[in-house]
Structure 1
């Protein structure tokens, strides 16, 4: 149904477009993605890139610059990282993630400490351990101490140039099984949609179209938010069809995406 994207109904004045798995694969833009966004911009639509990236919106924009997406292709970015950074201001917090993410958070005013904290900003895995199960001892210690984990990326995995890569959501899942408490930011949770709608100038939800490749993040979040959605099969799910029982499993009644496409191109 790529024809749906070629002749997008006029009522969709605002597009909430996922980034990783829809616009790029972690290293390269997908063919036709930039052209599609630019085309919608020429039609007068507002494009907000809605992402579970655990980074500030400025850092996301710089990353898109490096990959080659011009800023003229979108109007703004709404990231789970920015939402989490805002929520954690004004008190010391622990940190789990890469040195680059830590520097990003400190640059945005977070007070990150290495001991004596009761809350933890989880951006994802660090540079030394690339499998979630390697974090067991740390997660057990934090859970026993009652540390509140703030998960700034609900994604469990992404595909980076064809290779699977674990994300913060995978660590948060383990943490909850250990009895730890997690506060989630980003899709599919309602606050990120409220934030994105505010960023977009409060358009009516019936005038917003969400586009994403993650069934339990992009698609489920849009459905619960009352926003029409296009499911992109060519991202994290590797060409898999839209599940026939999706609405039943998630208690969405007869909900279906308005279109299922391989990609934006």
Structure 2
């Protein structure tokens, strides 16, 4: 069975597993930031939680899914830890690859879960995309891959919704577009992907991806995200997607800007994924904490994953 066959089999028949997701991140490693060079013998420090690190850093940047919450459920102790840090005068940001919801909707979500967060403390890949589109308006007609509740009209584009039955009419809509924005995989199937692949193969056009994640933890399972399908399109059509969010440098620079541009090594990036949170944080010069009880590495041999990837966090803890 080829790599492509394996990908399709998992997509069609089974939910993605942490082991498969890790291998996929390694497969697309050439499109991720290089990261710093670290000695092979480096071993991450083990801690029971973020608590012992609170006085070592001046500010904290948190991934959301797998660190603060899974789905709409806050993780145990996450709300308390976030509040403790803020009460101690430590600036805290949430840096999320969420792409469907607006900043206002995300803010409502995290407040509803109990996190005392303000608008200036939330940076999403959707917001990064919106800023890029505002700074450099796109010309022509753009296809937006997302459900209508993602409110594509707020992107400031002349757009077509790329959704519905994967048939000749949808292919015709795709062929009319001058570029594509990938926001959400909701209702996106192998048949939709095949249509988009054929359209881009016949006439390569830009693809901008508001969520670089390959998978996301939602309750007791992982879901495939826009990054997975976009890397597949790059593999098969030769296009070069533009990614917003982690692990790419604009997301981390935006976080540092929000914090007033402190020395990056005084900021701790807290995440559950080696290839997005930890690699991106290290590339930005930040300290890094990998949490392991939830998210995309749950159940794996963390030491083996670190050795295989060469991405070594400064600290490993089961949760924050």
Shorter chain as denominator, the TM-score bin is 0.7 to 0.9
2:288 match: secondary structure: strand
Task: Give 1:188's match in structure 2, choosing from 247, 252, 264.
Answer: 247
CA distances 1:200-255 after superposition (whole Å, capped 9, x unpaired): 211110110000001111111112221110001122211434345737745x6xxx
Counterparts of 2:308 and 2:228 in 1: how far apart (Å)?
24
Change (3 A) 1:139 1:85: farther
Structure 1: where are the runs of 5+ without partners? none
Cα drift, residue 8 of structure 1: 2.0
TM (normalized to structure 1)? 0.87
One of 210, 222, 230 as aligned partner of 2:289? 230
Aligned to 2:35: none
CA contact (8 A) 1:118 1:146 kept: no
- Cα distance in 1 for partners of 2:229, 2:116 equals 32
Residue in 2 that maps onto 1:71? 116
Pick from 178, 192, 197 the counterpart of residue 139 of structure 1.
Answer: 197
**Given the superposition, is the C-alpha separation of residues 74 and 95 from structure 1 closer, same or farther in structure 2, using an over 3 Å criterion?**
closer
Partner residue of 2:169? none
Q: State the alpha-carbon separation in 2 of the partners of residues 73 and 30 from structure 1.
A: 19
Superposition deviation, residue 108 in structure 1: 4.9
Q: How many residues align?
A: 255
Indicate yes or no: 2:172 matched with 1:118.
Answer: no
Counterpart of 1:155 in structure 2 is 213
Does residue 263 of the first structure (1) align with residue 319 of the second (2)?
A: yes
Shift of the 261–181 alpha-carbon distance from structure 1 to 2, 3 Å rule, reads same
Q: CA deviation at 1:80?
A: 1.2
Give matches, 1:46-65, under 5 Å: 46-54=91-99, 55-65=101-111
Offset from partner CA, 1:103-132 (integer Å, 9 cap, x none): 1x42353432355432211012133x3x45
- Show CA shifts across 1:171-220 (max 9, x none): 10111012222001111111111111111211110110000001111111
- The answer (yes or no) to whether the contact 2:133–2:156 under 8 Å persists in 1 is no
Q: 238-247 vs 28-37, which deviates more?
A: 238-247
Q: Which has the higher helix share?
A: 2
Among 48, 52, 58, the alignment partner of 1:13 is 58
TM-score by length of 2: 0.73
Report the Cα distance in structure 2 between the residues aligned to 1:74 and 1:39, rounded to whole angstroms.
Answer: 19
Cα distance between partner residues in 1 of 2:155 and 2:77 = 33
Write the mapping of 1:199-214 to structure 2, written as runs, cut at 5 A: 199-214=258-273
Measured at CA, do residues 198 and 132 of structure 1 come closer, stay the same or move farther in structure 2, by a change above 3 Å? farther
C-alpha distance in structure 1 between counterparts of 2:105 and 2:203, whole Å: 32
Question: Are the structure 2 counterparts of residues 132 and 171 from structure 1 closer, same or farther at C-alpha, using a change threshold of 3 Å?
Answer: farther
1:242 to 275, 291, 302: 302
* C-alpha RMSD of the superposition: 2.3
Provide the secondary structure at the position in 1 that maps to 2:276: helix
Give unpaired runs (5+ residues) of structure 2.
1-45, 162-172
Contact 1:132/1:171, CA 8 A, preserved across alignment: no
Structure with larger Rg: 2
Higher relative contact order (CA 8 A, sep 6+): 2
